[in-house]
């Protein structure tokens, strides 16, 4: 029988010290370097789990938004610094919200709304470096009834 208890992933007590001292970022950089050599730099960028430093920094700089639902309203909150809030333009239609000049000047960030909203009646407030938008929900009362022919229904 194969001695499983003496082999690497199963017996953690016998791991060499260099495995214990490894930095995950160093491993990731090495893997990306090897992938770049094997597949080319353009192809290596398309692989999942790529944590390039500039990609992480860009993700960290974009604040996370939050959506809240009430019975007749939909609320959207996102932190925006005061100096940047002066330049942000807000645009929306019934299903999508777009912030122009956000996260940086000249850029656009779009958000899909979880519900249909009315085009009018939106209110914006800015307090404590946080933008809050309040949308009126739009209830779609147009219901279409579809008839199923009886000859197509089989038991």
Token representation of residue 139: 């209830």
Per-residue pLDDT of the chain (155 residues; tens, 9 = 90+): 555 555 555 455 555 555 566 777 777 777 777 777 777 655 545 555 555 555 555 555 556 889 999 999 999 999 999 999 999 999 999 999 999 999 999 999 999 999 899 989 999 999 999 999 999 999 877 888 999 888 888 76
Instruction: Measure CA 32 to chain center.
Output: 23
3-state secondary structure of 27: helix
Helices (H) and strands (E) in the chain, counts: 5, 7
Q: Name the pTM for this structure.
A: 0.54
In the chain the domains, ranked by start, together with CATH numbers, are 65-136 (2.60.40.790)
């Amino acid at each position: 029988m194969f001695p499983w208890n003496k082999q690497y992933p199963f017996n953690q007590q016998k791991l060499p010290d260099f495995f214990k001292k490894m930095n995950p970022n160093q491993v990731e950089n090495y893997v990306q370097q090897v992938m770049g050599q094997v597949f080319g730099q353009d192809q290596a960028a398309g692989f999942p789990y790529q944590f390039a430093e500039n990609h992480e920094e860009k993700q960290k700089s974009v604040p996370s938004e939050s959506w809240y639902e009430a019975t007749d309203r939909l609320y959207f909150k996102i932190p925006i610094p005061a100096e940047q809030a002066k330049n942000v333009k807000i645009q929306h239609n019934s299903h999508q919200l777009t912030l122009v000049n956000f996260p940086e000047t000249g850029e656009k960030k779009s958000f899909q709304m979880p519900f249909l909203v009315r085009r009018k009646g939106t209110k914006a407030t800015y307090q404590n470096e946080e933008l809050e938008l309040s949308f009126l929900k739009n209830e779609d009362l147009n219901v279409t009834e579809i008839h199923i022919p009886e000859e197509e229904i089989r038991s």
